[in-house]
Amino acid sequence: MKIKIGIEGFTIDSAHYTPSSPGNEQIHGHTYELTVEVHGDVNEKSGFVIDFDILRKVIYNVVKEYDHKIIVPRKDISSVELKGPFSVLTKVIDHPFATVEYIGQDIAKEIYEKLEKKFSITLKISEGKDSYAVIEYP
């Protein structure tokens, strides 16, 4: 029997731009909120699908790579230039746009891979208080 377990409450503060959405092509930011579920069988030796502490560490290590960064599609990275008396940190994604749908897919894939592809992942990523995407990976 497959069981879903989850952790919620992770946040990422990131900037992006979405030229596919008129009015949002400028750089702007969001506080993304994430809920992650893993789906699997209970391990009879441990009694867990996965220990919450292990899952929490994996999620934290993945999402920190997006936090306080500008998320940029790989196709755009060579044309992005930002300068100033501040640091510019980017997170490059292999998708055509840095939309919540693609950012969520990227995060779900990284969690899946860090968990050695043992569990399917459901990730809910909210862009503000009333807009979200739910990604089922793989």
The predicted-structure confidence for 96-106, as pLDDT tens digits, reads as follows 999 999 999 99
Average pLDDT, the chain: 96
pLDDT band at 8 (very low <50, low <70, confident <90, very high): very high
Q: What predicted TM-score, i.e. pTM, was given to this entire model?
A: 0.95
10 phi and psi angles, rounded to 5 deg: -80, 140
The DSSP bridge partners found for residue 70 are 15, 90
C-alpha to C-alpha distances, 86 to 75, 82, 83, nearest whole angstrom: 24, 9, 7
The whole-number average pLDDT for the span 17-24 is 89
What is the per-residue pLDDT for 24? 82
pLDDT band at 58 (very low <50, low <70, confident <90, very high): very high
Q: How many Cα atoms within 13 Å fall on the side-chain side of residue 96?
A: 2
Residue 75 has pLDDT above 90, yes or no: yes
User: What is the percent of the chain with per-residue pLDDT over 70, rounded to a whole number?
Assistant: 100
pLDDT band at 1 (very low <50, low <70, confident <90, very high): confident
